[in-house]
């Protein structure tokens, strides 16, 4: 599922951006942000169409989150469905220490959790309910999850995803939230990761873990270091 989403989305975004903007405009940084966002939204929609028509995947209880970034000129656009996250590492001056800097993690999107007020309202309005698992004594366990009103399915711990047909029946969707940010000289690198990392590691902690590998120009070792640290904290 995740592989289908990744490859299909990359192809759709590339085609749509090339069709909409000529390379000269991209190089000159004169693209229209609204049009970029429209093309990203269109690309996500086409992925959903492809999942239902061409993937051959049983989508009843199978799904995938997706966080993606597109850099056009000096802008970075982030399109997100689910609880994965993109974080930008930016060098900032340390308060009270003129001339001294540190790298901080700036999230480019919010996590689509089921108990976010607007997300929860959409699910309830669509006939679903939001609640955590409960133990034998009725105490809540873990994060809030999406359920059918009168059935204990699907128990999805996010409010947006690709696929997940059972959850889609009660308001879970694959409509991306799209943000944009101007890039500046102090911006160094981006981290894209799923909740398997972000449940245990903060934005700033992730930046500090990746930083030495960034300076050694090794994205693979940076990813391995993040995974190892998340597994230790699991």
C-alpha to C-alpha distance for 211 and 55, rounded to whole angstroms: 38
C-alpha to C-alpha distance for 229 and 206, rounded to whole angstroms: 9
Reply yes or no on whether the pLDDT at 26 is more than 80: no
User: HSE of 178 in the Cβ direction (CA atoms, 13 Å)?
Assistant: 20
Report pTM: 0.92
C-alpha to C-alpha distance for 2 and 77, rounded to whole angstroms: 21
- Over the stretch 56-96, which tens digit does the pLDDT of each residue have? 999 999 999 999 999 988 899 999 999 999 999 999 998 88
* Mean pLDDT, rounded, for 184-189: 96
Reply yes or no on whether the pLDDT at 122 is more than 70: yes
C-alpha to C-alpha distance for 37 and 31, rounded to whole angstroms: 11
SS3 24: helix
| CATH among 3.40.50.20, 3.30.9.10, 1.25.40.10, 3.60.40.10 for 2-114+174-233 | 3.60.40.10
* Mean pLDDT, rounded, for 34-51: 95
The segment(s) of the chain belonging to CATH 3.60.40.10 are 2-114+174-233
pLDDT of 210: 98
Beta strand segments in 46-163, E: 63-64, 66-72, 75-81, 85-93, 101-107, 128-134, 140-148, 154-156, 162-163
pLDDT of 98: 83
The tokens of 29 are what?
């940084």
């Amino acid at each position: 599922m995740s592989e289908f989403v990744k490859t299909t989305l990359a192809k759709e975004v590339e085609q749509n951006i090339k069709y909409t903007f000529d390379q000269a405009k991209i190089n000159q940084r004169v693209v229209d942000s609204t049009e970029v966002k429209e093309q990203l939204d269109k690309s996500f929609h086409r992925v959903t169409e492809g999942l239902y028509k061409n993937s051959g995947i049983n989508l009843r209880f199978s799904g995938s989150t997706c966080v993606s970034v597109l850099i056009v000129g000096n802008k970075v656009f982030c399109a997100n469905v689910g609880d994965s996250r993109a974080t930008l590492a930016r060098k900032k001056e340390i308060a009270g220490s003129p001339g001294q800097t540190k790298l901080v993690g700036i999230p480019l999107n919010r996590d689509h959790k089921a108990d976010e007020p607007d997300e929860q309202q959409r699910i309830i309005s669509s006939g679903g309910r939001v609640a955590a698992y409960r133990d034998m004594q009725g105490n809540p366990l873990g994060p809030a999850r999406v359920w059918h009103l009168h059935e204990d399915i699907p128990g999805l711990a996010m409010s947006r995803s690709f696929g997940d047909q059972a959850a889609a029946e009660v308001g879970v969707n694959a409509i991306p939230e799209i943000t944009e940010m101007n890039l500046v000289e102090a911006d160094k690198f981006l981290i894209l990761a799923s909740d398997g990392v972000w449940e245990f590691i903060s934005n700033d902690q992730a930046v500090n873990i990746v930083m030495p590998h960034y300076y050694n120009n090794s994205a693979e070792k940076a990813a391995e270091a993040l995974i190892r640290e998340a597994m230790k904290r699991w």
